[in-house]
Structure 1
Amino acid sequence: MAVSISVLSSCLFVFVFILPRLWSRYQFNKKYRLPHVVPGWPIIGNSLDVPFPGGMWGVETARKYGEMYTCYLGGRAIVFLNSSRVVNDLLEKRAAIYSSRPFRPMCQDIMSGGARMLLMPHSDRWRNQRKIMHSILNNRQAETKFIAYQELESKQLVYDYMTDPENFHLANQRFSNSVIMSVVFGRRAAIDDPELKAILESVAVLAEYLFNPLKNICDAFPWLSNLPKPLQWWRPAGEAYFKRTRALYKGEYDRLVKKMENGTARPCFAVEVEQGAAKKEFAIDETEKLFVFSTLLEAGSDTSRNAITQAVAAMAAYPAWVIKARAMLDEVCGADAERLPSLSDREGLPYITAAAKECLRWRPFIQTGVPHMLVQDDEYEGYKFPAGTQFCWNAYAIALNEGDYADPMTFSPERFMDADLNNPLKGHWSFGTGRRVCVGYNVGANNIWIAIACLIYCFDITEDPDHPINTLNTNWEIHKEAPFKVKIAPRSQAHIELIKRISIEALTADY
């Protein structure tokens, strides 16, 4: 009798759980065809296989499976795009149907109150936020209102490098975050700024939830959001994060409102938003407004910091391009340390522009892009994709793809000395793609340009022979310590005197 019950139970399990799934898979395979599916585990797919960060994993997997391959992270299919050709064909040329986002019940609904533009589906709400950002952060605004902040912070940057070279990573962090804090809220940020520290911690937590499926089971298996709230064990952590993040940006916002009331507020994004809302140029509630601010701060802080840190690694590891760049800087700014480079020098220093673009290409700060989601069935080169399929550009794999770039391992600004030199979006995917391109890319590109120009002009940056830089596997994202060791020294006494002279303005500016 016991045997019969056991057999009956096994049969019931097969009929209830196994057969429906096999039938569903048969029907799916009959209708659709995805690129090579990377072998994974039952139910969880490849969730245990993708490390965080996943740059070199993506490179090796692309070498094995070619231009496109499919992973299952939880129950979701993600097609990785491993060449600029397929990224351009799908995410650029077909952006109208490849620009949405997958449902993320944890990161978007719980942790962001449904208000974070980065994770919003392609909707009217997303379009409204993007319109607001674009109107304020367009190229004209970036050139007329925000360059003054970047040039002031570049003076502080070279001072910090001169006085504390071992903590160059903190100088990069302070520069990047002080620029974006000035752009968004009209105030500077110090290295030990408590609000800045809280923002960085918030960004790090969100990144882990976004890119680490082991940390975020709910987004990996969205159907779990249908459980009764008391059974959603992840929810309290997400709700606590939302409250902390909202309070953090509400504090910054309240301080700015007081400055506006007493007439001391500086030109910045938040002031423009307040004025636009008052004139009823657009409608946006407070939570949404706060998360617009957070989106810009999060996008503009670590991205510029990482890119500048990577540029320092490239200066040390590939000195040939630095010699060439320095000769050009000396022609424009004087070989005897006459003045610091400024963004007004860009036309006369095209090689620095090319170097900034190469920095974005060489080691992408986002190692695998935030997935786009297809909103309707589509066909491409024999493949048939169902609506809901996610597509992710494999940033490291593309950067190291010899089909995209000659000698991709080498840092070579020459590759960008072409007709697209002055288009910050052409030749790499670091600012995103299609309708999801970062709206603040002009500010980011200017950050990298001015930092590279000033550092090369003022300092000799060389590799420490006892600590060679592993440019492929360095964890660029860490905050607490330098990700690699380099030797940094002012070029001459004249450069030391220049730094002392020009840094007075930055050291005394307080707003």
Structure 2
Amino acid sequence: MDCVKVFNQSIGASIVDWFPALADLPRWLQPWRAHWERLDRWNYNVYRSWWVPAREKVMNGTAPPSFVRDTLLHSDTRFTGDDDDAMYVAMQLIEAGSGTTTESLNIMVMAALERPEAFVRARQEVDRVCGAGSEARLPVLGDMESLGYICAMAKELLRWRPIFAVFPDHVSLKDIEFEGYRFPAGTSFVINQTVVGDECEDPERFMPERWLGDGREADITHGMWQFGGGRRVCVGYRLAQRSLFINIARLVQCFDFEAVSCFFLFIEVLLKTR
């Protein structure tokens, strides 16, 4: 989690993120580099402490089933990059999205208290597809196309309370003409997540329904910018979508959410500890 925290705090924190041309300055004019190089070494060492033992178990035949054993280092599908690249592929699957997915699920609980009728509808959909009572089964990833409201709920969570307010800028590679304005090549653009997400009817209301009806409910990047856009779209958006989908579907199926008075919660905890 420390790696996730440091990574999230680093997004947009470097002046070079906003003014890339500064990276072309002589090293002695870039005093910030020492800080980022220390973080790089620290993150690398953390990754190696996990990667090397896992790789060695694969090599000596004692590793349990995993993506690393059965795909990344398997003789039939072995990754063609070097060892460091393989390490980052494996470790990013563990790190990527862990903090942001957790935050989105916390927002989901807030949304359940804000608009419980949406979650009643979500459970009805899950019960229809996965059964109810003693005949129920847990939702699986194969249900994604059948659980459009759950997919819409994931998109609405990211729109309603975006995890990232802004992203590091994108730079145009050629001149752009847009709505009467001309932007020359080299212009920097920043996606203002909150404002863009509010360009809809009743933006403060949690409404998964706004994403229904276009057949793109299961495409979490369609009509959304929380994963960036273009060629620099977050490469892990599919993983993030599936993590959100399976967690939301199962939480909706298995739990009721209701507000509890802090006073009564304090009394309950106090009695349990006596």
TM-score (norm 2): 0.79
**In structure 2, do the counterparts of structure 1 residues 371 and 233 end up closer, same or farther at CA, with 3 Å as the change threshold?**
closer
**In structure 2, do the counterparts of structure 1 residues 224 and 446 end up closer, same or farther at CA, with 3 Å as the change threshold?**
closer
In 1: Cα distance, 2:27 partner to 2:158 partner: 44
Q: Is the counterpart of residue 446 in structure 1 residue 238 in structure 2?
A: no
- For 2:10, the equivalent position in structure 1 comes to 209
Could you tell me whether the CA contact under 8 Å between 1:270 and 1:293 is conserved in 2?
no
In 2: Cα distance, 1:278 partner to 1:458 partner: 38
1:247 is displaced (CA, Å) by: 1.1
1:225 is displaced (CA, Å) by: 6.5
In 2: Cα distance, 1:432 partner to 1:318 partner: 28
1:27-426 matches, within 5 Å, as 200-212=1-13, 216-217=14-15, 223=22, 226-229=25-28, 232-263=30-61, 264-268=63-67, 272-275=71-74, 282=80, 284-293=81-90, 295-331=92-128, 332-335=130-133, 338-401=136-199, 405-418=200-213, 419-426=215-222
1:315 is displaced (CA, Å) by: 0.9
1:347 is displaced (CA, Å) by: 4.4
Higher relative contact order (CA closer than 8 Å, sequence separation 6+): 1
In 2: Cα distance, 1:392 partner to 1:268 partner: 36
**In structure 2, do the counterparts of structure 1 residues 206 and 285 end up closer, same or farther at CA, with 3 Å as the change threshold?**
same
In 1: Cα distance, 2:262 partner to 2:256 partner: 18
CA RMSD of aligned residues (A): 3.2
CA deviations on 1:387-427 (whole Å, 9 max, x unpaired) are 322212211111112xxx22221111211221222323223
CA deviations on 1:415-470 (whole Å, 9 max, x unpaired) are 12212223232232223212222333222212111111211222221234569xxx
1:205 is displaced (CA, Å) by: 2.5
TM-score (norm 1): 0.45
- Structure 1: unaligned runs, 5 residues or longer: 1-199, 468-484, 486-511
What count of residue pairs does the alignment treat as equivalent?
A: 260
CA deviations on 1:18-42 (whole Å, 9 max, x unpaired) are xxxxxxxxxxxxxxxxxxxxxxxxx
Is the partner of 2:258 in helix, strand or coil? strand
CA deviations on 1:266-322 (whole Å, 9 max, x unpaired) are 23168634448986x74x334444444455544322222222221111111111101
